[in-house]
């Protein structure tokens, strides 16, 4: 969701956070509140999971909005909010070279190792 | 009046406060200043209506059990069992015991926020104590309500600050809202006969104990919001608040310009319209299931 | 890599049901079509709040009042999920709202009809949400990741809406004579607009083929419409009411219900802004937005002030652990 080095000329870099579209008719009069990404841990022991995004004027509001929007049907245990512009992401188009093709390094997988059945707890 | 009657009155008062404010908040649904806040205020409305339902259901149970309702000269429920809906939909304005503040119109977002803040601060300290009421049923309802009101108070406090210390326009709208609503805040701490009776006995609470805390909270938030706390002779006087009765009713001009009477059934012109809209279907099609 | 190679990789993913995620390469037409489709769906949710919020203050019992507020609030949430999904594609909330308010963007025509009685709440839940669900469930497997995920959230919440609607009608259908009439009257008014929700006939929908190939549409308009009619024709029997279509009849051969002709003239008129409530709906949204401008401005101004003079968080109260 951030300013990644995008080789494709097809995708414009979206204006992110605290601004909105420069030529929007609503600019300058109640213009867009910044966009925030929301992460929720719904239960003790789980990781935070990305739930979506919303607009809020500040972090406090973002947390409360997240509670209202994304935890309406469950007890949310923990909410993280991050302004979208601060999320840095890997470039999806470089995925094939950026991520180690794990299948090549078979020795990283437990099934690679042939051990006797009698061996317990491993 | 009997303890039972006092308890019924008090429970209905708590229910009416929650219902009327929830109803007012729900008028924003679909019309809020931004989608996220539409959801936020609807959430609060839902909480309040949920509280109202719990209180009404309890009051109804009490009325059905004791066979006695309210003192003579007041509302007589129709034949059959009293339900939450009987109480909400079949009483006229003069039987409603909500305070005047909750029935005031929404106005703009500033007015709505300020109204919410004043009420939530009141409910916060009220429920905080009522959780320990001698009446276990009431205590249980208030314990649940308290958790919700903690959030309402936080949400509305932050908005008071945002608008008070936002732009010049938001600040003056907040000042206007304060000008409009301040006169309804006194009633929150003026006890009725039923409140006084229950306070003495341990089921209810002495409102004069809440007032200083409420005032401290309001001062704290107002300071941060760069709003002036209205210093008048009335609120600097620490004399015992006058009890209101059906006879004294709305005491305009008395007690430093504070209006009251709602908790005893004497309302502003607002309530009639709220009920006309809210109760229409039940009145037009009496005795139906929905 | 050439454009064709990019396109091939893209279509390969789609064909294999591998989700396309934000910032991955996609054909410009795909992106534009999706932005329009997702944002129009979002607009529909938001505008759709209005015919129902109409009745919140008049809901006839406390339970109905609460559940109606919850339903409308859900719709706001759905709009939000969808705007959020659209924003991952390079548009902004501001931009989308601007298009709605200027009339450039469309929303589902159904919400341009008035809600005249309490029974309309039932009819909308049963028919309108029913039609929406039919459309939405297949989209849970749409090719664009954020869109599919938003649809999964929405579908989880939507089924309560339809059940609530049907239950409202069921209670009315077992009620007084006036209530039964109210029930039938609402069905009479909402049936055809609901049938039209599925859009023009397939042979009048030139974009369907491309959308199906891109997997942002999984069934054709007519397929979904037929399914809808078949299901409703059975469900209505439980209400003891009738569908206002004299040509509705079970076809034993095709194993489907035949139904009468749709008034496409009405559909076109409503889509083009001449429905009973188009102006009011849009005016309400524009008003809310304009009236709210000072609020949004103030919140931003305050946030800016906070950034300039960082203070320890004050205001509000200590939050209990279970918040």
**pLDDT tens digit sequence for B149-172:** 999 999 999 999 999 999 999 999
Contact B39 C80 (CB under 8 A): yes
Token duo for residue C111: 């919400």
As a whole number of angstroms, the distance between CA C317 and CA C323 comes to: 12
Q: For residue C149, what pLDDT is reported?
A: 95
Count how many pairs of residues, chain A against chain C, have C-beta atoms within 8 Å: 105
As a whole number of angstroms, the distance between CA B64 and CA B59 comes to: 9
pLDDT in tens, C81-121: 999 999 999 999 999 999 999 999 999 999 999 999 999 99
Instruction: With CA atoms as reference, report the closest residue to C109 among C34, C39, C198, C49.
Output: C198
Contact C77 A72 (CB under 8 A): yes
Q: pTM to 2 decimals? A: 0.89
Contact A68 B40 (CB under 8 A): yes
Q: For residue B250, what pLDDT is reported?
A: 41
- Cβ(C157)–Cβ(C136) under 8 Å? no
- Bridge-based pairing of strands A78-83 and C249-251 is unpaired
pLDDT at B87 exceeding the cut of 90: yes
Q: Rounded mean pLDDT of chain B?
A: 90
The residue ranking higher by pLDDT, C79 or B66, is C79
Q: For residue A28, what pLDDT is reported?
A: 39
- Cβ(C298)–Cβ(B161) under 8 Å? no
Instruction: Nearest chain A residue to C22 by CA: give it.
Output: A1
B221–C contact, CB cutoff 8 A: yes
Q: For residue C2, what pLDDT is reported?
A: 86
CA distance C20 to chain B (A): 27
Q: How far apart are the first and last CA of chain C?
A: 51
Residues 6+ apart with CB under 8 A from C63: B53
As a whole number of angstroms, the distance between CA C71 and CA C168 comes to: 13
**b/e sequence B57-94, b meaning 16+ C-beta within 10 Å:** bbbbbbbeeeeebbeeeebebeeeebbbbbbbbbbebe
C306–B contact, CB cutoff 8 A: no
DSSP secondary structure code for residue C17 in this structure = T
Share of chain B above pLDDT 70, in %: 89
As a whole number of angstroms, the distance between CA B26 and CA B40 comes to: 11
Q: For residue A11, what pLDDT is reported?
A: 34
As a whole number of angstroms, the distance between CA C37 and CA C140 comes to: 14
Residues of B in contact with C176 (CB under 8 A): 285, 288
Contact C60 B282 (CB under 8 A): yes
Q: Which helix (H) or strand (E) holds C257?
A: strand C256-258
pLDDT in tens, C275-287: 999 999 999 999 9
As a whole number of angstroms, the distance between CA B241 and CA B209 comes to: 11
Instruction: Nearest chain B residue to A33 by CA: give it.
Output: B34
Confidence of residue A100 (pLDDT cuts 50, 70, 90): low
Q: Which helix (H) or strand (E) holds C107?
A: none
Contact A65 B40 (CB under 8 A): yes
Token duo for residue B38: 């539409």
Say yes or no: ipTM exceeds 0.85.
yes
Residues 6+ apart with CB under 8 A from B41: B25, B28, B29, B32, B112
pLDDT in tens, C28-65: 999 999 999 999 999 999 999 999 999 999 999 999 99
Q: For residue C206, what pLDDT is reported?
A: 87
Contact B43 A68 (CB under 8 A): yes
Q: Which helix (H) or strand (E) holds C249?
A: strand C249-251
Contact C84 A53 (CB under 8 A): yes
Instruction: Nearest chain C residue to B281 by CA: give it.
Output: C60
pLDDT in tens, B219-263: 999 999 999 999 864 444 444 444 444 344 444 434 458 999 999
As a whole number of angstroms, the distance between CA C307 and CA C51 comes to: 41
**CB nearest to A60's CB, from B39, B40, B158:** B158
CA distance B282 to chain C (A): 6
Angle in degrees, 0-180, between the axes of helices C221-235 and C177-196, rounded to the nearest 10: 170
Instruction: Nearest chain B residue to A65 by CA: give it.
Output: B36
Instruction: Nearest chain C residue to A14 by CA: give it.
Output: C90
Q: For residue A75, what pLDDT is reported?
A: 62
């Amino acid at each position: 969701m951030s300013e990644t080095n995008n080789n494709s000329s097809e995708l414009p870099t979206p204006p992110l956070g605290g601004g909105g579209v420069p030529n929007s008719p609503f600019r300058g009069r109640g213009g867009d509140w910044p966009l925030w990404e929301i992460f929720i841990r719904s239960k003790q022991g789980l990781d935070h999971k990305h739930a979506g995004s919303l607009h809020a004027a500040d972090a406090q509001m973002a947390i409360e909005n997240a509670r209202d929007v994304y935890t309406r049907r469950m007890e949310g245990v923990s909410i993280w909010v991050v302004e979208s512009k601060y999320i840095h992401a890997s470039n999806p188009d470089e995925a094939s070279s950026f991520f180690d093709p794990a299948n090549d390094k078979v020795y990283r997988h437990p099934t690679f190792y042939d051990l006797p059945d009698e061996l317990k707890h491993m | 009046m009997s303890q039972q009657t006092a308890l019924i009155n008090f429970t209905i008062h708590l229910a009416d406060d929650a219902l009327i404010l929830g109803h007012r908040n729900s008028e924003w649904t679909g019309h809020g200043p931004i989608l996220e806040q539409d959801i936020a205020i609807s959430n609060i409305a839902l909480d309040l209506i949920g509280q109202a339902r719990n209180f009404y259901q309890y009051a109804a149970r009490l009325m059905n059990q004791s066979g006695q309702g309210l003192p003579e000269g007041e509302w007589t429920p129709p034949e059959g069992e009293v339900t939450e809906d009987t109480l909400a939909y079949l009483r006229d304005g003069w039987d409603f015991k909500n305070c005047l503040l909750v029935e005031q119109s929404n106005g703009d977002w500033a007015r709505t926020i300020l109204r919410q803040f004043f009420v939530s601060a009141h409910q916060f300290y009220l429920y905080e104590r009522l959780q320990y009421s001698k009446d276990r049923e009431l205590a249980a309802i208030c314990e649940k309500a308290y958790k919700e009101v903690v959030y309402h108070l936080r949400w509305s406090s932050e908005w008071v600050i945002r608008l008070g210390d936002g732009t010049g326009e938001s600040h003056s709208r907040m000042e206007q809202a304060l000008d409009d609503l301040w006169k309804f805040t006194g009633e929150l701490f003026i006890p009725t006969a039923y409140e006084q009776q229950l306070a003495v006995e341990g089921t209810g609470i002495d409102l004069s104990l809440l007032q200083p805390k409420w005032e401290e909270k309001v001062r704290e938030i107002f300071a941060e919001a760069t709003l002036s706390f209205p210093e008048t002779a009335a609120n600097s006087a620490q004399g015992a608040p006058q009890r209101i009765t059906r006879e004294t009713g709305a005491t305009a001009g008395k007690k430093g310009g504070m209006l009251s009477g709602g908790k005893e059934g004497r309302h502003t012109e607002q309530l009639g319209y709220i009920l006309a809209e809210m109760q229409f279907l039940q009145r037009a099609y009496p005795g139906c299931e929905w | 890599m050439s454009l064709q190679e990019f396109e091939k990789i893209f279509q390969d993913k789609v064909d294999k049901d591998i989700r396309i995620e934000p910032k991955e390469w996609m054909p410009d037409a795909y992106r534009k079509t999706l932005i329009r489709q997702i944002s129009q769906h979002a607009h529909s949710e938001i505008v759709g709040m209005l015919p129902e919020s109409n009745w919140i203050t008049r809901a006839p019992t406390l339970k109905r009042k609460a559940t109606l507020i919850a339903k409308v609030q859900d719709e706001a949430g759905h709009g939000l999920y969808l705007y959020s999904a659209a924003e991952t594609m390079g548009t902004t909330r501001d931009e989308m709202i601007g298009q709605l308010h200027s009339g450039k963007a469309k929303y589902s025509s159904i919400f341009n009809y008035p809600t005249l009685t309490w029974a309309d709440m039932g009819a909308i839940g049963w028919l309108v949400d029913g039609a929406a669900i039919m459309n939405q469930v297949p989209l849970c497997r749409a090719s664009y990741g954020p869109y599919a995920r938003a649809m999964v959230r929405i579908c989880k919440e939507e089924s309560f809406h339809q059940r609530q609607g049907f239950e409202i009608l069921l209670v009315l259908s077992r009620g007084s004579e006036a209530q039964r009439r109210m029930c039938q009257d609402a069905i009479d008014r909402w049936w055809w607009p609901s049938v039209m929700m599925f859009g023009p006939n397939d042979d009048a929908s030139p974009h369907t083929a491309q959308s199906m190939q891109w997997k942002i549409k999984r069934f054709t308009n007519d397929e979904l419409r037929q399914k809808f009619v078949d299901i409703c024709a059975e469900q209505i029997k439980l209400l003891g009411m009738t569908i206002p279509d004299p040509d509705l009849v079970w076809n034993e051969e095709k194993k489907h219900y035949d139904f009468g002709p749709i008034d496409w003239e009405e559909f076109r008129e409503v889509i083009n802004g001449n429905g009973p409530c188009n102006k009011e709906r849009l005016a309400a949204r524009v008003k809310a937005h304009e009236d709210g401008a000072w609020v949004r401005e103030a919140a931003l101004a305050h946030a800016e002030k906070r950034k300039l003079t960082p203070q320890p968080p004050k205001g509000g109260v200590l939050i209990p652990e279970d918040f």
